[in-house]
């Protein structure tokens, strides 16, 4: 039997939208304005292509558009702050003006996050969980924006992955609250990939319900990731079914947001999973 939240996580405002946790699974569509995305979907500096993708994702049912200008794959070349700004800000400006769903900025840099929020972004997605720059929490508080805090193990080895990720997320949540972010604006992400082994990534998905002890909505991003490639021996562009399986299992274990590349297909997976897990019918 599927396990669901026993604690009311409330409502998180995001621009003119509200996330009503527990009612359904929300879909975050990935817009990579990078030339070197691991998944092969990087759009580089093509603003028009990024805007067109964002509009398509919104039409396909995405609830959030997550724009990132730096590849997060382990061997990616570093990107200067200036280059990241050049890639990201024009896309966010256009999307904020031309789509109705909220736009998120995927960054750990303070200045980019500040500029993105000024340009119309309504959420911050920080892959270092405030570990790189705690001032992102100050921005989230100032702009009343939700912030996703991810657990990243690239700087350390973990022997007992789930308790250690939970502990790191607790630390990030406390840091955000101490800097003025309301608890209802905090979302946690266990960080599939990001320094974890295949076995650890599979364990996180299998034990995702344990992260509900944080009493915050859970975002998970398994889409096209290496864990799927390693299990199925497939390249990124052939990992749709593996992604669908991990999305469905994650929802049954308590995921509230799924971050995906293939929006139309994963919206269907979420709807079917929500019908079974949450009893949500059309």
Known catalytic residues?
A: 225, 259
- C-alpha Rg value of the chain to the nearest Å: 17
The token pair at 142 is 């100032």
The token pair at 259 is 């971050």
**Integer Cα distance of 217 and 184 in angstroms:** 9
**Integer Cα distance of 124 and 26 in angstroms:** 16
3-state secondary structure 2-36: CCCCCCCCCEEEECCEEEEECCECEEEEEEECCCC
Closest CA to 171 of 131, 213, 113, 204: 131
């Amino acid at each position: 039997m599927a396990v669901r939240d026993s604690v009311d996580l409330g409502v998180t405002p995001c621009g003119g939208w509200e996330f009503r946790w527990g009612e359904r699974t929300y879909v975050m569509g990935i817009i990579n304005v990078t030339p070197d995305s691991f998944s092969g979907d990087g759009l580089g500096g093509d603003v028009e292509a990024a805007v067109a993708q964002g509009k398509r994702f919104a039409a396909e049912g995405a609830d959030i558009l997550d724009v990132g200008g730096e590849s997060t794959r382990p061997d990616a070349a570093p990107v200067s702050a200036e280059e990241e700004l050049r890639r990201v800000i024009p896309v966010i400006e256009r999307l904020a003006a031309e789509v109705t769903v909220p736009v998120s900025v995927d960054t750990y840099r303070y200045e980019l996050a500040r500029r993105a929020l000024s340009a119309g972004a309504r959420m911050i997605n920080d892959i270092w969980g405030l570990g790189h720059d705690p001032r992102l929490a100050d921005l989230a508080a100032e702009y009343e924006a939700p912030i996703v805090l991810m657990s990243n193990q690239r700087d350390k080895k973990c022997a007992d992955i789930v308790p250690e990720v939970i502990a790191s997320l607790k630390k990030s949540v406390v840091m955000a609250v101490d800097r003025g972010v309301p608890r209802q604006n905090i979302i946690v992400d266990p960080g599939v990939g990001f320094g974890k082994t295949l076995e650890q990534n599979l364990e996180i998905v299998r034990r995702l319900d344990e992260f509900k002890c944080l009493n915050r909505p859970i975002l998970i991003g398994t889409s096209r990731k290496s864990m799927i490639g390693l299990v199925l021996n497939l390249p990124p562009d052939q990992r749709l079914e593996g992604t669908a399986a991990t999305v469905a299992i994650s929802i049954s274990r308590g995921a509230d947001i799924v971050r995906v590349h293939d929006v139309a297909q994963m919206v269907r997976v979420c709807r079917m999973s929500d019908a079974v897990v949450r009893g949500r019918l059309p």
